[in-house]
Chain A
């Protein structure tokens, strides 16, 4: 799946987690802008893992700070 198609699916997945309805760009940060706490991260990561049938280990999550980095990581993990 290419980056655009992956980004579309992630955009749908993040909606229920974007409680303040802020505008999301590739530069949006999960902890700073979206204020995700550890439980939200776990639920959101689980939703993405299930959608794409991948594992995003905590080691990999530590490298992902922004929305754009997440999309790139998911594209890569799909192989």
Chain B
């Protein structure tokens, strides 16, 4: 019998080899208790959380929790239905209203996850004969959206404005064009030069989709993301976002000003053929989004945290993904997977959780320890984190 699992053998061997070295399984962490947005009990230890994407710390906000409890009581545990059948409750409309206000845009469509938002919008908007031009470091959900559709897929080198323009120029005349960009790229925490890229995309008659998953709530004067920060949000045709980062629950969305946008509710399969979000989830999301509109102080504190951690790690000799902090993600480069896993474990023993990121999720086959800061990390916690990195870095032989 041909075992269909054979194709995974290299991955099985890699994982077995890593665990045989005695390291704790970096992909098997269990949070036994969660104390706050920044502290949990993991594998029996009290641990500072520095890899959650919970940027604005909304998960334990009392108003958010209350809204969720009330919806659970009033509307039940789930909708058991598609948004286009029995799965649209008043709460789904309310969270879409909150998104329209948050982005000051005309239309909002909520999906069950951020992954499905990219999958749905990209595969539906770009069809046979159309061209998708996208950054090579795009998130898996973007690539999967490309794969699910019938468009021609044309990648360009990460953040390379000239490479993007060259490809746009060569697309046959008359073909539909969708340029797909991200505000913050989550592996290195770097931002895109959206102002230039969107200008060029528009010059070549392309529609533009920007995934702002890692910037919502934090970057830009109103927390609308990198496109807002660079003054080009009005030129973006589709903003994709998620509730599973700054908003602090689960779900995904697309906001747009296109006059024909609402037809997507009937033609976008990842929207139609799945159950809608539970009422408690949309209630927490709507409350959180409304609070994020007025979170200027939290945004300022998160920037301080990001700057402090970046400088602290750089000064101690760690190699980082960006020269300057550009987002709430600070990526620490590891020499290889073995030492990366050893450093990850040393940090966990210090009481710090970060993400271990490895190929194929990472660009250029890098192994990274990815740190995502939270507005609820205190200045003192950030200093504690830097001390943990210093000690673990010496134990794991990453710094001298």
Contacts and interface: CB of A to CB of B under 8 A. Distances in A.
Interface of A: 37-39, 42-43, 46, 49-50, 53-55, 57-60
Contact of A58 (B153, B163, B166, B365): B153
Contacts of B171: 55
Interface string B15-36: 0000000000000000000000
B154 A54 contact: no
Nearest to B158: A42
A53 B153 contact: no
Contact of A50 (B136, B146, B166): B166
A37 B155 contact: no
B157 A46 contact: yes
B157 A58 contact: no
A54 B154 CA distance: 11
Interface in B140-182: 146, 152-157, 163, 166-167, 170-171
A58 B152 CA distance: 7
A37 B365 contact: yes
B243 interface: no
B169 to A, nearest CB: 9
Contacts of A59: 152-153
A23 B360 CA distance: 29
8 contacts: A43-B157, A49-B166, A53-B170, A55-B131, A55-B152, A55-B170, A58-B152, A59-B153
B153 A49 contact: no
Contact of A57 (B131, B136, B166): B131
Nearest to B360: A38
A39 B153 contact: no
B136 A42 contact: yes
A42 B153 contact: no
Contacts of B166: 49-50
